[in-house]
Chain A
Amino acid sequence: MSALLEVKGVSRFFGGLAALTDVDFHVDKGEVLGLIGPNGAGKTTMFNVVNGFYAPSRGEIRFKGERISGLKPHQVCGRGLARTFQVVKPLQRMTTLDNVVCSAFLRHPGRAEAVAHAEEILRFTNLWDVRDTVSKRLPLGLRKRLEIARALATNPDLLLLDEACAGLNPSELEESIGIIRRIKERGTTIMIIEHHMKVIMSISDRIVVLTYGQKLAEGSPAQISANPEVIKAYLGEGDD
């Protein structure tokens, strides 16, 4: 069986700079793949390439066996691949519910169905209590979770989470980890960028390590934390 997402020899240049060089990896259906690496390693660029904001300069990306590199973000999303943003991008003047309704429309063109679906997502992500709050007034922790809820409302097969847990306090962190676990239990495949080592080690099935835009290592959390190169390049810098 082929993988859900295949990244094959992907490079991305900006001007003369290589943000990604010849990166290969895949994501299997049903797993949680952690993407880690020091700042500037190209993790978010990788997401932007997968999601269609940038076309890869070289290489290709296949999703469910179909080539998606070169498609626009909305087309990628339509094929079942949704993402969150590291720097949250709520639809500021819309309420929490309306934010989610916007993305629910993708699978439910009628308004009543879209609202019903969005409400279900809000309950699932514990955002029900703030459903009528205008999203720019939400605290950061909830805005991060709204990112997840919004992506989830497009019924993705693969969900890309870009530092969805950064900047959260311990109780918010617990809650977000719980939500990510439940998303996985629902059968949604997840690729996650995270700086929190504890989070990534506890929820990932496999981990890919990027440094300077190249893949340094790939393996189970246990293998990665024992890999001397990874320790030198990344963990050695001190765990935050």
Chain B
Amino acid sequence: MNPAKIEVLLQTLISGLLLGGLYALIGLGMTIIMGVMKIINLAHGELMMVGMYIAYVLFAWLHLDPYLSILVAAPLLFLLGAIIQKYLVNPVLKVDAILPENQVILTVGIGMVLANLATMIFKSDYRTAPVDYATKAWYLSDIWKGSPIELSLSYPWSVSFLFAVVITAGLWFFLSRTDMGKSIRATAQDKDAALLMGVNVERMRMFTFGLGSALVGAAGCLFLPIYYLYPDVGGQFTLTGFVITILGGLGSTFGAIIGGLVLGVFESLTATYVGMGWAPVGRFVVFVLVLVFVPGGVASLLRRRRFGK
């Protein structure tokens, strides 16, 4: 391989990992909701879109940096998620219907409403937040003058990635170290046992849906500096989140992180070596391969190794 080819490959892997870190955050929100409530939230990407528009408005009006707007968007999305859970999802769970998938269809309806409301408010124009560091990057040749290849690390991508890592670590701490987090995991494992142990399952569900929404809302803020924004942007991220969840093993938080990284790298490779337009297809090829060959996702591979079987 000549240096130019290695350069392209390394650059592709770097962007893939950065993208994957952000994907992991999207997948985590969906995984948590799926784990605790056995609910699939197909409005997930639309919630992210709401987070993006919140960050966009704050940027356009107050020149608030998108990274700071996480502090506004995440709590608002938490509230929105909790309201959706309490007043829409919960009643549906109690309705006796022929198809238990009613709940999934419900979230599709919610997503449609959110996307359409965004179209009415913001029109279907493509928007970006022109932050002044948008095109800033670090170059390998700055550090190592004699480097035979040139690699660049985009400033906003790296910062977004770091934020994603910090949020993920915070979530990890919350789930494993706090009482609330432990109750959430208990509810995820066995709802009835959690009920018996005095966990308020109804409240836990509201909180979890809120938490999942806040996570994806934060992801929206992180995407704003590096992505363009339009009302229907959510749909692709809903699917991404779902593919990551399947890839990671349903309901496994660690699996979701690995799943996000794998997907990011794979998409990046597809975009470089097959063509930009095919990147989304790469996403689903991974998905199909996982379904066929690793039905339990990454989590099942890890488990298999642990038991030595």
Q: What residues make up the interface of A, taking CB atoms closer than 8 Å to B?
A: 15-16, 93
- Please determine whether B307 and A16 come into contact, CB atoms closer than 8 angstroms: yes
Q: Are B98 and A15 in contact (CB under 8 A)?
A: no
Q: How far is the CB of A13 from chain B (nearest CB, A)?
A: 8
Bound complex: CA A214 to CA B190 (Å): 28
Q: Which B residues, 250 to 309, have Cβ-Cβ distances below 8 Å to chain A?
A: 303, 307
Tally of A-B Cβ pairs under 8 angstroms? 4
Bound together, the chains give a CA A15 to CA B303 distance in angstroms of 8
A93 CA to B97 CA, complexed, in Å: 10
Q: How far is the CA of A16 from the CA of B303 in the complex (A)?
A: 10
B303: chain A residues at CB < 8 Å are 15
Chain B interface residues toward A at CB < 8 A: 98, 303, 307
Query: Which A residues are CB-close (under 8 A) to B307?
Result: 15-16
Instruction: Report how far A15 CA is from B296 CA in the complex, Å.
Output: 14
- Once the chains are docked, how many angstroms separate the CA of A15 from the CA of B307? 6
Distance in Å: Cβ of B192 to nearest Cβ of chain A: 13
Complex-state Cα separation, A16 to B309, whole angstroms:
9
Could you jot down 4 A-B contacts, CB within 8 Å?
Answer: A15-B303, A15-B307, A16-B307, A93-B98
**For the complex of A and B, 3 pairs with smallest distance between CB atoms:** A16-B307, A15-B307, A93-B98
Closest A residue, CB atoms, query B308: A16
Give bound CA distance, A28 to B273, whole Å. 65
Q: Which residues of B contact A16 (CB under 8 A)?
A: 307
Q: Which residues of B contact A15 (CB under 8 A)?
A: 303, 307
Bound form: Cα–Cα A93–B303 in Å: 38
User: In the assembly, what is the distance between CA of A204 and CA of B98, in Å?
Assistant: 41
Q: Which residues of A contact B98 (CB under 8 A)?
A: 93
Please, which residues of chain B bring their CB within 8 A of the CB of A93?
A: 98
Q: With both chains docked as a complex, state the minimum distance between the C-beta of A33 and any C-beta of chain B, in angstroms.
A: 32
A69 to chain B, nearest CB (A): 19
Name which residue of chain B comes closest to A93, CB basis. B98
Select from chain B the residue with minimum beta-carbon distance to A57.
B309
Q: Which residue of A lies closest to B303 (CB)?
A: A15
Return A50 CB to nearest CB of chain B, in Å: 23
